[in-house]
Chain A
Amino acid sequence: MKNWFYLASQYIRFYKTRSVLLLTCLSIITCLPVGLRTLISHYQNELENRAQSTPLILGIRGHRFDLTMSALYFRTSLERSTTMEELEKLNKTGLVKTYPMFVRQTSNHIPIVGTTIDYFDFRDLKPSSGTLPMLLGDAVLGARAAERLGLDAGSHIISDQTNLYNLASQYPLKMNVVGVLQANGTADDDAIFTDLKTTWTIEGLAHGHDDLAKKEQQQNILSRDENNLVANANLTPHIEITPENIASFHFHGNESDLPLTSVICVPKNLKSATIIKARYKLSKTAQLLSPESVISELLLLVFKVELLLHSSFLLVGAATAALLGLIVMLSIRLRKDEFNMLHAIGCSRKTVAGIITVEWIVIATVSLLVSTAIIMLVLYAAPNIGRLM
């Protein structure tokens, strides 16, 4: 047995290219379906958990998936928004506790979530350093966002410019990082949180009238008229909220018109849940969604695609098994002279079969180890892959 293993390993070592090729093929074949399944169930769990922890969401009527992805995962692609007026109406019912959100901007491509201080309670988010955002211009970073940016409390972030070619539209806002949140393993880790007013300011809905009028920045302004500042092209101008100018920030127009991308609603009890859902069924402007049902709808779709993939894997697997059989057969035929010689000097059939079997067991085992390692690695990297998607 020991000598079988020795001879088999000598063969594997001597024909390195053949062995490595076989190993790679076997690893990929086992990796693909198993890895995909593990990855999908990982995301499935993550999606379901997040949905279950968010009873209802209110938003403008229309795309259910966009609204859900905005409220749960802070996708900034939801163009249309509901208003503070809808929030007021919702609050007046007294049936739900509300957590309004405005999610449209990014900083370093990380979504900026404008919300109220209650949101942190709702998600059980506590700062691991610093404090929660209290003032206009304060921001707190999700754990992974902080890690990615390499920032901690006391630093600054600047919102991404949405339109690079129209300098006059709106300047990015420089925000003070006042804290970093503890990780909770959800999308909250990959976001930047501010007060609603801060996101509205970035959106250009609030102004401080001495934005760029600071003395040291005067030389950067080329021209100025009633509405616009035109800045010198060789600096990235930004608005900064300071203790001196904070009081001058104010909103134009009606406060009830201010935008909200979504409102998370937690019904007080089962009865109020039923009432509020019934009430919004008829609303022409707003929709009230259960993320759980939207997500299960989404997962059903994913499941169908997966089924398709798996049936194709099954076919590919069958073809691969046939090919593997052929490879084993051919490699034995290729070694016919060798086995004839072994028989001729008196080697037993058992020993020849043993050497071949051990050789394939070694290759199969190593491929299994390799693919297990790859799957573990994929699972370990799953949160980061998810962020890329």
Chain B
Amino acid sequence: MIHLENISFTYPKSSFSLAFSSLKVEAGTHVALIGPSGSGKSTLLNLLSGILLPAQGDIYIHEEKITGKTEAARRAFRLDKIGMIFQSFALLQYINVENNIMLPLLLDGQPITKALKERCRELLKSVGLEGMESRYPAQLSQGEQQRVAICRALINNPKVILADEPTGNLDHKNATSVLDLMLQQVRISGATLIMSTHDRSLFSKFDRVVDINELTRESI
């Protein structure tokens, strides 16, 4: 279970503020985070991942209190326990697909074992990129690159996946297929998914839709 309580956040030198009394997400659910541009979707995801720290309130991810951790500890937690997917600049251009997928492990100083390579191979196969381990990102289409990014988010078997408009740069057909692949993988791993999106046609694919405007209005 993911639990946020009495959150209040403001950026320095900015009038924007995000405040709400409570948000609970059951483990294993798939949540779409919606709201107009500038409403604070990315901000909320960054609070969940520990990139940002709220001025007030507590955030628990599966019993771990994120808000009580130091910056370094939040990074370590993120690297190990959370799968992150972004809208753009997903991959490093100078390492191949396999190493891009292994990146969280490489950055953690972990050795790349045979079992990990096998897992990487299976993940690639499941997103329809079988045998593309040694390609470089520049040799893939945008949709294919985003599918590699999904594999990277999944390599550690994280219990939480945070995705900030992962299909935002893709055309509708590609967006649907990438999302389907992502949901399929998340379902297999049993992880909780929180994904921000603008695309109304995708809402039906989620267990729950959270409108960030409603969330903050309730708490006033």
With A342-B107, A347-B107, A351-B107 already in contact, the answer to whether A11 and B94 are too (CB < 8 A) is yes
**Contact indicator B51/A344 (Cβ below 8 Å):** yes
With A343-B51, A346-B75 already in contact, the answer to whether A14 and B93 are too (CB < 8 A) is yes
Residues of A within 8 A of B90 (CB): 341
**Contact indicator A348/B106 (Cβ below 8 Å):** no
With A1-B109, A15-B94 already in contact, the answer to whether A345 and B79 are too (CB < 8 A) is yes
Residues of B within 8 A of A347 (CB): 75, 79, 107
With A7-B95, A14-B94 already in contact, the answer to whether A340 and B106 are too (CB < 8 A) is no
Cβ contacts A33-75/B at 8 Å (1 or 0 each): 0000000000000000000000000000000000000000000
A348 closest partner in B (C-beta): B75
Cα distance, A11 to B96, chains bound together (Å): 11
Cα distance, A10 to B96, chains bound together (Å): 9
Interface: B78 (CB within 8 A): yes
**Contact indicator B84/A345 (Cβ below 8 Å):** yes
Residue total for B at the interface (Cβ-Cβ under 8 A): 28
Cross-chain contact of A346 among B80, B92, B136 (Cβ < 8 A): B80
Interface: A216 (CB within 8 A): no
B72 closest partner in A (C-beta): A348
**Contact indicator A346/B93 (Cβ below 8 Å):** no
Interface: A6 (CB within 8 A): yes
With A1-B109, A14-B94 already in contact, the answer to whether A341 and B99 are too (CB < 8 A) is no
Interface: B145 (CB within 8 A): no
With A14-B94, A343-B51, A345-B84 already in contact, the answer to whether A338 and B89 are too (CB < 8 A) is yes
Residues of B within 8 A of A11 (CB): 94
Interface: A79 (CB within 8 A): no
Cα distance, A128 to B45, chains bound together (Å): 86
Cα distance, A378 to B124, chains bound together (Å): 54
Interface: B60 (CB within 8 A): no
Cβ contacts B74-115/A at 8 Å (1 or 0 each): 111111101010100110111100010001101101100000
Interface: A337 (CB within 8 A): yes
**Contact indicator B89/A346 (Cβ below 8 Å):** no
Nearest CB on A from B102, distance (A):
10
Cα distance, A345 to B91, chains bound together (Å): 11
Cα distance, A3 to B107, chains bound together (Å): 7
**Contact indicator B78/A345 (Cβ below 8 Å):** yes
**Contact indicator A344/B109 (Cβ below 8 Å):** no
Cα distance, A340 to B51, chains bound together (Å): 11
Cα distance, A349 to B71, chains bound together (Å): 10
Cross-chain contact of A3 among B75, B76, B82, B109 (Cβ < 8 A): B109
With A344-B49, A346-B82, A346-B104 already in contact, the answer to whether A10 and B89 are too (CB < 8 A) is no
Cα distance, A11 to B103, chains bound together (Å): 14
Nearest CB on A from B149, distance (A):
10
Cβ contacts B139-171/A at 8 Å (1 or 0 each): 000000000000010000000000000000000
Residues of A within 8 A of B99 (CB): 10
Cα distance, A338 to B103, chains bound together (Å): 12
With A1-B109, A3-B107, A10-B99 already in contact, the answer to whether A346 and B94 are too (CB < 8 A) is no
Nearest CB on A from B145, distance (A):
12
B91 closest partner in A (C-beta): A341
List chain B positions with a Cβ less than 8 A from chain A. Answer: 49, 51, 72, 74-80, 82, 84, 86, 89-90, 92-95, 99, 103-104, 106-107, 109-110, 136, 152
Q: Could you show 10 A-B contacts with beta carbons less than 8 Å apart?
A: A2-B109, A3-B106, A3-B109, A13-B94, A342-B107, A344-B84, A345-B107, A346-B75, A347-B79, A348-B75
